[in-house]
Amino acid sequence: MPISIKDLPKEKYVLPGNAACPGCPENMGLRFVGMALGSKAILVVPAGCTAVIQGLAPGSGLNFPILNVPFASSDSVAAGLSSAKKVLGEDATVVVWAGDGGTADIGFATLSGAAERNDDIIHICVDNEAYMNTGIQRSSQTPLGAWTTTTLSGKKERKKDVPLIMLMHRIPYVATASVAYPTDFIEKLRKASTIKGFKYIHLHAPCPVGWRFDPALTASIARLAVETGMWILFDAEGGKVTISPPSKPFIDKSRRKPIREYLSIQGRFRNLTDEILKELEKQVDENWSLLLKLST
Amino acid sequence: MALKTLTGNYAIATAVKLARVKVISAYPITPQTTIVEKLSEMIELGELEADMIRVESEHSALAAVYGAASGGVRSFTATSSHGLLYMHEMLWWVAGARIPIVMAVVSRTIGPPWNIWTDHSDVMDHRDTGWLITFVENNQEALDETIKLFRITEDKRVYLPGIVALDAFILSHTTEPVDVPDQSLVDAFLPPREQPYVFRAGNPLVLGNIPRDLKWNMRMREDVHKAMERAKKVIEEADHLWEKIVGRRHGGLTECYRCEDAKHFMIGVGAWVGDMKEAVDYLRDRFGLRVGLIKVRYFRPFPSEDIIKWLNNAASAVVFDRSISPSVGGPVFIEVLASLASAGVRTPVRGVIAGLAGVDVTHEDLANVMLTSISEVEELGAFKQNVLWFYGGE
Ligand SMILES: Cc1ncc(C[n+]2csc(CCOP(=O)(O)OP(=O)(O)O)c2C)c(N)n1
Ligand code: SF4
């Protein structure tokens, strides 16, 4: 069911004056989670930027119940919480809101365990492609060639494809999303909340601080990632992959914008060589062809 | 009441069932494994109505029961040795969040080398986390104390998690007759769960975001300390209530064995306290020595008051530790010294490190250490050596 922004609940889950940086994609994402799930959501949040965005206790800049937890523990805490709600017969959607580090690196075993057990939770990976909270260190989600404080001359390895790894866990629902496409993200969240078992949503979240761009451009850069084909929006219910509407036009390679348009406005790719650019272009093609194979 | 022959691990599993636990999560490690295997079987047979979350690691096991307990249900986990160490940061988080949880730790040596035999190093490594810690002497106590610990941890004066520690194999895999109380008695003893807060949808409660005021954060730690102090009374009360309802008591924070006229004291925790009792009998009956034993039942909160009371006018004390804080001594020894110093009591105390890595220690060994120690202190008025490594009968 297509969603129109004006039909979304007016209730605010992200309160003004919280501690997010200007142009913060995590803050945007959290607002959309509020719009999609409203008062049903209980958030489990490991270490990462969102631990800071909440602001200082005893106050909170977010209007959700939030259980902050150790870095590598979130999906297990969520599994336990979801089990308790079931035992008590309470209606709740338990959501893990974790960074790419909390998801793909230190939290990976926990994530994989919960997915394999099909625990009834939604895991959202808010992917800003580095450890931002500790000051922009590389993660397995940092793309090839990107500068971080631990890859000064550009990362040498490619981005690990977590959505596909999660797809191979044969969980009931996997999706990618982008902060530039709120209705697509909200639809996916709503769909996920109606499905029992483990749901995984990987949210692309360009970070002005870590990627070195003007904070006014967060949404534009996120959109360029989709328009260049660097980030592909899809979802998979019961293992059946469907390219999502915002990405559909870009199945046709000729309609994709050159990836240089996306990279050149990010300071983290300042020292990009032609060789790396070619390699990144090749990776985009590979990612598309694999995903299209899976979607037929 | 029914007398059954149970291993220590089955006694724990039986206690968990009687406590009507709702969520269990654990990861296999020898010698803890049979606790969760038994609980899984009880669930499969429909004897226990609980959810078992079969996680991929111990870190996740404690995380899962923490999530469940924060969600408002009684939860349990069990582990041992490397598993407990793997959980370490979660132990701090649970205690800091003031969420009652009970965990059984089958205490086992830490590697290298790999070694599955008993040793208290794993539990002692967690003494500062804010968990209550009780060591049991036998399988009956394992069952009773597990049930009691649910009541104690869920008392609003406490609201801290608790560990029931039992020695690897000596208790975990050894069968003993255990009196299993009727469910109705346990229900009379153990009220429905209470906890400081419950996470629910629609109630924007936040746990654990960054503090505005660091002093307020420091106060949280002081509150853990104070709750631990208050737990002393709650533990004594639980012990008396258990006696009233079930007709059995083990002592509150300590049990003192043949202490009334004792001059020299043995002090210890865990299963080998049973051997110490035999050593006391032997030393009294054979040599006419006035020896008593202080069994430290709770290591956290530490029973300083009891230690001071018993040792105030004593001639000497020998503390036996199955773990070591290198360059200082055994953890129980350290606490005994600190307790006595705080009260200005100058009784000579020796710390004996023995039974590490599962090295066997018999009651004759323990008695022999006491004989040399007593003659040394009677001759010199002090111990030549405060920390003594003892490897067992030569
Ligand atoms: C066990 C542990 N190791 C390291 C840290 C330090 N730490 C806190 S947040 C963080 C990085 C978070 O990165 P990510 O998950 O990508 O989230 P982001 O900050 O980008 O939102 C690290 C390394 C920690 N809190 N706990
Ligand atoms: S560093 Fe990036 S992700 Fe973190 S709060 Fe700032 S803008 Fe948001």
Q: Which residues of A3-18 are buried (b: 16+ CB within 10 A; e: fewer)?
A: beeeebeeeebbeeeb
Stretch A137-163: mean pLDDT: 98
pTM flag (> 0.80): yes
Name the residue among B66, B67, B204 with its Cβ closest to that of A63. B204
ipTM: 0.96
Those of residues 106-165 in A touching chain B at CB distance below 8 A are 109-110, 112-113, 116-117, 119
pLDDT tens digits, residue range A90-99? Answer: 999 999 999 9
pLDDT for position A284: 98
Mutation target for B interface from A44, A76, A116: give the one with most B CBs within 10 A: A76
pLDDT tens digits, residue range B138-191? Answer: 999 999 999 999 999 999 999 999 999 999 999 999 999 999 999 999 999 999
Residues linked to residue B179 through DSSP beta bridges, in sequence order: B3
Q: Closest Cα partner for B99 from B139, B67, B136, B124?
A: B67
Q: Closest Cα partner for A276 from A152, A182, A175, A146?
A: A146
Residue whose CA lies nearest to ligand 1 atom number 22: A134
Name the residue among B51, B75, B209 with its Cβ closest to that of A60. B209
pLDDT tens digits, residue range A152-201? Answer: 999 999 999 999 999 999 999 999 999 999 999 999 999 999 999 999 99
Site of tokens 């530490």: B302
Which ligand has an atom closest to residue A126 CA? 1
pLDDT tens digits, residue range A23-69? Answer: 999 999 999 999 999 999 999 999 999 999 999 999 999 999 999 99
Taking the Cβ of residue A73 and every Cβ of chain B, the question of whether any pair is shorter than 8 Å is answered with yes
Site of tokens 């008062």: A39
Give contacts of A84 with chain B, Cβ < 8 Å: 22-23, 67-73, 75
Output the six-digit token pair for A156: 């040498």
Any idea where the domains of chain B sit in the sequence? 2-246, 254-390
CATH classification (class only), B2-246: alpha beta
Name the residue among B61, B67, B202 with its Cβ closest to that of A81. B67
- CATH fold, domain A5-294, is Rossmann fold (3.40.50)
Q: Which residues contact B73 (CB under 8 A, 6 or more apart)?
A: A83, A84, A87, A88, B22, B23, B193
- Cα of A149 vs centre of ligand 1, distance in Å, is 14
Instruction: State the sign of the Cα–Cα–Cα–Cα dihedral B43, B49, B53, B57.
Output: negative
pLDDT for position B394: 54
Pairing mode of beta strands B102-107, B264-268: unpaired
CATH architecture, range B254-390: 3-Layer(aba) Sandwich (3.40)
Q: Is the pLDDT of residue B392 over 90?
A: no
What secondary structure does DSSP assign to B132-172, as a single string?
Answer: EEEE-SSHHHHHHHHHHHHHHHTSTTT---EEEEEETTTTT
Count the alpha carbons within 13 Å of B77 in the hemisphere toward its beta carbon: 34
Residue whose CA lies nearest to ligand 2 atom number 7: A24
Stretch B61-85: mean pLDDT: 98
Tell me how crowded residue A152 is: count the other CB atoms within 10 A of its CB.
9
